[in-house]
A and B are shown apart, each in its own frame.
Chain A
Amino acid sequence: MAIDRSPRNRMPEQAPKLRAKNFDEVALGFSPEQAKAEASRCLQCKNAPCKSGCPVGVDIPEFLKAVQTGDFEGAGAVIGRANSLPAVCGRVCPQEEQCEKLCLRGRMDKPVAIGAVERFVGDFGLDKTPAPYDGPRTGKRAAVIGSGPSGLTVAAELAKNGVDVTIYEAFHRAGGVLVYGIPEFRLPKSLVRAEIDKLLRLGVTLMRNVVVGKTVLLDELTDRFDAVFIGSGAGLPMFMNLKGESYKGVISANEYLTRVNLMGAYRADSDTPVQRGRRVAVIGAGNVAMDAARTALRMGADSVTVVYRRGREEMPARAEEIHHAEEEGVRFELLAAPVEILGENGAAAGLLLRRTELSEPDASGRRRPVELAGSEFTIGADMVIVALGTSPNPLIKDSYPAIETTKKGTIVVDGRGMTSVDGVYAGGDAVTGAATVILAMGAGRKAAAAILERFKGQ
């Protein structure tokens, strides 16, 4: 087959000026023709290095081949073998660091836009009802704690193999970070709901408003279920203990995004209030910081500035998110370390910053910022959003001390994803600390395989 020499297709996007004022999705997705054309750029490599870059091991060349021939349903089935949330992953996976980074087509011109095609296939399959599982039942029961990416993955894998699964979700809505964290304009909530509905049609039971460790205790679950999976997520937002952190207008990115996304504070008909800053500063430069900055613009801020103590190269956010934020008008104050939050009458009024320069790499491998004496300067800000990551939620550990945790509080698991308690597994941010949706899903897949293996032996 002759190599298709056409350039990489780009998804159409809402124009930056327009989208910075609305919560509609930024990227608009491929048409069937674009998806087929892009899939045709795949070289169908025999050893397919892209596959090894996928944390859940999707057979990428095979699904691209199906798309190429217009068999979108078949493509969905190929992805579905490894990934139960393709419409989500097609949007939020850092493909440029994973499959697309290893794509050999990238050596010719640009890698195949695997993520964009996956998104197309995922969306195509959203309204298709999956056949309910009708294979042999294992007679086994599993409890899944948390309905975020790792929990949903475990639930899907187990349900597809004849296990009775019950998911326990603390919030009133399922989806975890997919519904409270990632904003509507990056991941429409209707889509998350459709993915979860698909899962429920597989026969999974969802218990909302149940906090494991409080409403039901972990040992009640281990009594009633043959296996338990903990996917309780990342936990409490970190603050810097800066002077002024308790001023009005200082808010964690978690709280800000939860109010806007989960509680729908961006809609006029929501009862949940949210602070609306005119001049907003976001401290931190990860994906959550970008989400918060772009959300603040859409909530009507006149200016939004991301403050980061390292430089552009060191920013942990995806390049695409930084690019989108910049296009929309988010400003970046790099090499600047927050010293104090300035206030007036108990409300935030600005940030006192100090210039930094980068020295040798630290333990994280990133160059360490050194504050320069006498370099203080201020920026105005009536709202300061702190997006510096999270520390693990103490809830489950507090109620079940037998679970071994690290000094930081993350849950310790072995190579199969099992905790120090027999039959209790864990994965996702509760184990790794804040990471990505797809890594959590990979951990979920691994734990599900181990649970199925365990059931086989019983």
Chain B
Amino acid sequence: MNRIVKKRVLAPNVNEYVIDAPLVVKNARPGQFVILRVDEEGERIPFTICDMDKAAGTVTLLVQEVGYSTAKLAKLVVGDGVADFVGPLGKPTDLSAHKNIVLVGGGIGTAVIYPQAKALFEAGRPAAVILGARNRELLMYTDEFKRAAKSLYIATDDGSAGQKGFVTDLLKELLEADRQRAKNGIDCVMAVGPMPMMRAVANLTKEYGVHTVVSMNPIMVDGTGMCGGCRLSVGGKTVYACVDGPEFDAHEVDWADAIARLSLYKETEQAHRCRLTDETAGGQK
């Protein structure tokens, strides 16, 4: 059984869990995800690996309570175990072809860009990071990003931290400034957050012709390429986020389609398998 070895509250209704998972962490790389079941009647819920400690054999997840299953998870305390824990799933992120990268995290999407920021920092080419949240309280991991990022920019809807506005406002400023310079321009943006945010980033970077990667968070069941629930339309083709993703070229994603599918189980109270298209719900697939 995979036990919770550490748990802390990061923001209202957002918990960080450090979970003992030596088998999962062994081959895990940034960008991959896990699926867990809280108990024997639990549904299978996917979460991006936010951090890992290969020596300690632990995986860190940031989980926002958005429904029945995540609320059930939130009831667990250090020492408790989850019924099932499987991963790493999906393809790892490959940003090796890019030199000047901007990472954009909205709400709990922060959990997904953190391992990227850390990996790029460790590789000696730290990225610029933009974080967005509704307010100061909902910002997460700012200290960690301060350490790992080349520069950190923050936007909140109410202006209680950083600049008042959206992540796209900050990104636009960076892209504009970048345009003035002749060389070493921004060659990749990776954005993770609620789908409307990712769509807005995609629309913006398209104007600037900058390659953009998003981590998609559709509904999933098995996560291994069996059920087809996580299908998306990317570049006019049907792809599966669990085995072909979770990351895709943002300019190829059919956003209207993806956003419509996210709300499949919205009516069912206990059906919050996916994170909802809520402002602060970016990181849970």
Residues on A lying within 8 angstroms of B by beta carbon are 170-172, 180, 208-211, 214-217, 233, 235-237, 239, 241, 245-248, 251-252, 254-255, 258-259, 263-264, 269-273, 275, 346, 393-395, 398
Contacts and interface: CB of A to CB of B under 8 A. Distances in A.
20 contacts: A170-B86, A172-B84, A209-B86, A211-B86, A211-B89, A214-B32, A214-B89, A215-B23, A215-B24, A215-B26, A236-B225, A252-B229, A258-B222, A271-B42, A271-B68, A273-B265, A273-B268, A275-B264, A393-B243, A395-B224
A346 B262 CA distance: 11
B260 A248 contact: yes
B275 to A, nearest CB: 15
Contacts of B78: none
A272 B43 contact: yes
Contact of B228 (A247, A252, A273): A252
A248 B238 contact: no
Given A215-B27, A248-B261, A237 B227 contact: yes
Interface in B66-121: 68-69, 72, 83-89
Contact of B227 (A217, A245, A252): A252
Contacts of A394: 225, 243
Contacts of A245: 238
A246 B222 CA distance: 19
B81 to A, nearest CB: 13
Nearest to B38: A271
Contact of A239 (B86, B231, B261): B231
A267 to B, nearest CB: 8
Contacts of A272: 43-44, 221, 273
B109 to A, nearest CB: 23
A233 B186 CA distance: 43
Contacts of B24: 215
A440 to B, nearest CB: 16
A251 B24 CA distance: 30
B271 interface: yes
Contacts of B271: 273
Nearest to A248: B264
A109 to B, nearest CB: 43
A241 B68 CA distance: 33
B227 A255 contact: yes
B27 A269 contact: no
Contacts of A269: 41
Contacts of A263: 43-44, 221
A235 B226 contact: yes
Nearest to A263: B43
A254 B69 CA distance: 23
Contact of A271 (B27, B43, B257): B43
B260 A258 contact: no
Contacts of B225: 235-236, 393-395
Given A236-B240, A271-B72, 10 more contacts: A172-B83, A233-B226, A252-B227, A254-B228, A255-B221, A258-B226, A272-B43, A273-B43, A273-B270, A395-B224
B238 A241 contact: yes
B125 interface: no
B277 interface: no
B15 interface: no
B245 to A, nearest CB: 12
A80 to B, nearest CB: 30
